[in-house]
Amino acid sequence: MMDLNAAVIRRIVFPLMHIVKGNNIAEYLVSLQQSQYFSKEELHNLQKEKLKKLLLHCVKYVPAYEPYKYLIPLINEDPFGALSEFPILTKQQVNKHMNDLIYINADRSRLIPNRTGGSTGEPVRFFIDRPTSEYSEAARWRGLSWWDINIGDKCLMVWGNPLELNKRENLIYNMKERFLKNIIFISAFSLNPQSIEKYSKMINLQKPRYFYGYASALYLLAQLMMKKNIKLKYKLTGIVSTSETLYDFQRETIEKVFDCPVINEYGARDAGIIAYECPCGKMHLSAENMIVEILDIETKKRVGSGQTGLVVVTDLNNYSMPRIRYLLGDVAALSEEDCNCGRSLPVIEKIEGREDDIFISLNGNYVHGVYFCNLARNYSSIRQFQVIQKTRSDILLKIIKSDNFNESEIQSYINEIHKIMGPVNIKVEYTDIIEPTASGKIRYSKREFPISV
Ligand SMILES: [Zn+2]
């Protein structure tokens, strides 16, 4: 059935936003739809020109980057080479030197303040500008268009609180989202066996075309529906998982319960839409909007395709508060492979999640948190869990027991952890709830100390 509101948003609200507010998302989307089919060389040249312009702007007009003025000749000749001469920018540095990162002639009243939810460590505060935000939105709509989801289509968001809004603001925000963007919300905090029937009735009534949310929240929604044997009475076009690593077990369960494709969006509040999954299953970078580099975890030198390392992002549109080589805190690898879908946008593979998802064993090996997830899946005694590496030799294991709990399974889980981590201390804590982070995400694993120690 046609969604009237979707049509109104596409044909009236969006064009009106363009006229009244100078919103350029639709225009940017058209250009991104074209450049995705550029030849590799054309795409490379587009990036090169944008990077050159940005770096020249930075060394001339952004105080933090003025010491790199000596790079001007190199920037003109080989902007990619010049880029690697710039230092890595950490989240702590952004917080500490925020004023120095702002363009000297920026109209501060037009900057858009933003911050990360701080699901680990301290939140980062920064500014973006309209082009950055709108190009990022356009990249999201381009990715969704690959799945036949378009601007204005009704969306169910499974989310934490949108921002740190008070109640009244929250209400207005919800109304605005509802009517201007055709979005309805479910809070990740309110998903439980009691609320799920009410929510599934609401979904069947409202018939959103797609769901959008954190992987862990969507997975929880699917698990609750499976447990209560609830099926939706209509077919979803897709379910978009974002902001967290989407694990295979989550994808399988969500696909099984909703019988529709799960679409992986790789985005971060402090980097925008980085990559989008295409129907061939590859994650395509938003190459027109940003340069993505992968660096060795220890040496911080660029690694080759296929090699896993730290994700570093340079947004090519943000002239107001540029962040060159911003260390996102994620771990991933680039791929040389072409995609059958015909888009020349580079492919990113193995997004392994956050840097602090990686544990370090007693003998110094890196162990990815997904390992503990995969292990836990073998034990039906565990309904939900969280593994926290407190120090090199201390692990806290939080477990929510399932209905058919058996103590011996937990012991064999611990034995398996010992095998890979060495003879560390493992403290088991049984609990009824594993709290999501302030932003509504559920972390399955995290390391709480720096890896260099
Ligand atoms: Zn593709």
Rounded Cα distance between 196 and 202, Å, is: 10
Centroid of ligand 1 to alpha carbon of 254 (angstroms): 22
User: For residue 329, how far is its CA from the centre of ligand 1 (angstroms)?
Assistant: 25
What distance in Å separates the CA atoms of residue 410 and residue 230, rounded to the nearest whole number? 30
Cα(297) to ligand 1 centroid in Å equals 28
- Given a cut of 80, is residue 253 above it in pLDDT? yes
Neighbours of ion ligand 1 (CB under 5 A): 278, 280, 282, 339, 341
Å from CA of 346 to ligand 1 middle: 9
Q: Residue 80: its pLDDT value, please? A: 97
DSSP β-ladder status, 358-360 and 382-391: unpaired
Does the domain formed by 4-352 have CATH 1.10.260.40? no
Highest mean pLDDT among 43-52, 92-101, 418-427: 43-52
Ligand 1 centroid to Cα of residue 340, in Å, is: 6
Domain 361-447 belongs in CATH node 3.30.300.30: yes
For the cut 50, the answer to whether the pLDDT of residue 448 exceeds it is yes
**Neighbour-count burial for 370-402, b at 16+ CB within 10 Å, e otherwise:** bbbbebbeebebbebbbbbbeebeebebbbebe
Task: Give dist(CA 146, CA 383) in Å, integer.
Answer: 35
Calculate how far, in angstroms, residue 72's C-alpha sits from the geometric centre of ligand 1: 36
pLDDT, mean of residues 383-396: 91
Domain boundaries defined on the chain: 4-352, 361-447
Average pLDDT in the chain: 88
Q: Which of 366 and 173 is assigned the larger pLDDT? A: 366
In the reported structure, the alpha carbon of residue 349 is separated from the centroid of ligand 1 by a whole-number distance in angstroms of 12
Give me the DSSP letters along 170-233.
HHHHHHHIIIII-EEEEEGGG-STTTHHHHHHHHHHH--SEEEEEHHHHHHHHHHHHHTT---S
Structure tokens, 153: 């289509």
Please give the distance, rounded to the nearest whole angstrom, from the Cα atom of residue 281 to the centre of ligand 1.
7
| CA of residue 140 to ligand 1 center, whole Å | 15
pLDDT tens digit string along 50-109?
Answer: 999 999 999 999 999 999 999 999 999 999 999 999 999 998 899 899 999 999 999 988
Q: What is the pLDDT of residue 162?
A: 47
CA 338 to ligand 1 centroid distance, Å: 8
Tokens of 64: 């933090």
The pLDDT score that the predictor gives to residue 453 is 34
Longest dimension (CA), the chain: 68
**Tens digits of residue pLDDT in 299-354:** 889 999 999 889 999 999 999 999 999 998 888 999 998 999 999 999 998 777 77
Least confident interval from 166-180, 267-281, 349-363: 166-180
Going from the Cα of 391 to the center of ligand 1, the distance in angstroms, rounded, reads: 41
* Ligand 1 center from residue 263 Cα (angstroms): 12
The three-point CA angle 277-444-330 to 5° equals 50
272 phi, psi to nearest 5 deg: 75, -160
Q: pLDDT (tens digit, 9 = 90+) per residue, 135-193? A: 999 999 999 999 999 988 999 998 765 444 455 556 666 666 666 678 888 877 778 88
Query: What is the 347 CA–ligand 1 centroid distance (Å)?
Result: 8
Provide the CA 179 distance to its chain's centre, in angstroms: 25
The pLDDT of residue 363 is 83
Give me the residue label for tokens 């064009």: 15
Is the sign of the CA dihedral 105, 108, 112, 116 positive or negative? positive
Q: Which two tokens stand for residue 142?
A: 């381009």
Which tokens hold the place of 282? 């590859």
- Average confidence (pLDDT) over 219-239: 93
